[in-house]
Amino acid sequence: MTSAKGADAKGKRSDRGFLSSNGLTLFFGGIFLLALVGQALTGLALYNNDAATSGLEQVSLLRYLTSSEFAVDVTENWQSEYLQFLLYILATVWLVQRGSPESKELDKAGLESDEDQMVGKHTRPDSPAWAKAGGLRLSVYAWSLALVMSTIFLLSWLAQSIAGVSAFNAEQLAELQEPMSWGSYVTSADFWNRTLQNWQSEFLAVASMVVLSIYLRQRGSPESKPVGASHNSTGLEG
């Protein structure tokens, strides 16, 4: 029998409209698009300014959006972001940090039991179909987030390398120098300098979030412990 409190909570959840129920996704999706548009417009202005200085033909927005210069700038950021989340997802399976809400509880390191993960005989009526299926489908679904994140990372990394070698060779030809093969480019200092600049900033941001959330609070955020929680409380979200 459903309690009155449970019924009220269910009613409140059902009363929420599409916008309020999906606010987090819509907010970040919106500012992502705004930032991408801003990057395109400022990148075009910078590109055409450099072209004018060099006495070269200026390009339209459409041509710039389909250029290797724009593609490499976008994809090198994407691949570093997805690498950050991929490593974070996998690292937090086995590694813990005392006092951080970004960590699991200290005694839950590892893949956890079927009961904790609500699989096998511990599935619920509303569990996803693949969680109930067992066998290969369950194994794939149990790792689906990491698999998709790693696929996006590898594809964006590949796109970055292809766009990067194209942009690099355009500069080489403009300076009457020999173009470089894809294999040579992905082992070059230019490629890894651009790549590692992004990686180190992502890793620093994650490490800062893990450590700062031990001692600092943000009231109402699930990324923070409750304001009055002990510094040693681990895996506790507000």
Q: Kindly give the confidence (pLDDT) of every residue in the chain, 238 residues in length, as a single tens digit, with 9 standing for 90 and above.
A: 444 444 444 445 556 788 889 999 999 999 999 999 999 999 999 989 988 887 778 899 999 999 988 999 899 889 999 999 999 999 999 999 999 988 988 888 898 888 888 888 899 999 898 888 888 999 999 999 999 999 999 999 999 999 989 988 888 887 788 888 999 999 998 889 889 988 999 999 999 999 999 999 898 898 888 899 899 888 887 6
- For residue 10, is it within any domain? no
Q: Is residue 122 part of a domain?
A: yes
Domain closes at, from 34, 66, 98:
66
Separation between Cα atoms, residue 74 and residue 192, nearest integer Å: 16
94 shares its domain with 182: yes
Is there a single domain that holds both residue 92 and residue 201? yes
Both 30 and 124 in one domain: the answer is no
In this structure, is residue 36 part of a structural domain?
Answer: yes
Question: For the chain, what is the domain count?
Answer: 2
- Do 216 and 123 share a domain, yes or no? yes
My answer on whether 42 and 154 are in the same domain is no
The per-residue pLDDT for 236 is: 80
Q: Is residue 55 located within the same domain as residue 80? A: no
Q: Are residues 178 and 235 in the same domain?
A: yes
227 touches 238 (CB < 8 A): yes
Task: Return the pLDDT at 176.
Answer: 80
Question: Alpha-carbon distance 16 to 23, whole Å?
Answer: 11
Q: Are residues 41 and 158 in the same domain?
A: no
Does 14 fall in a domain?
Answer: no
Range of the domain at 143: 68-238
Structure-token pair, residue 113: 């039991």
What does 184-222 look like in DSSP terms, one character per residue? HHTTSHHHHHHHHHHHHHHHHHHHHHHHHHHH---TT-T
Residues 6 or more apart whose CB falls under 8 angstroms from that of 62 comprise none
Query: Which pLDDT does position 29 carry in this prediction?
Result: 94
Q: Which amino acid is at 28?
A: F
What is the per-residue pLDDT for 2?
44
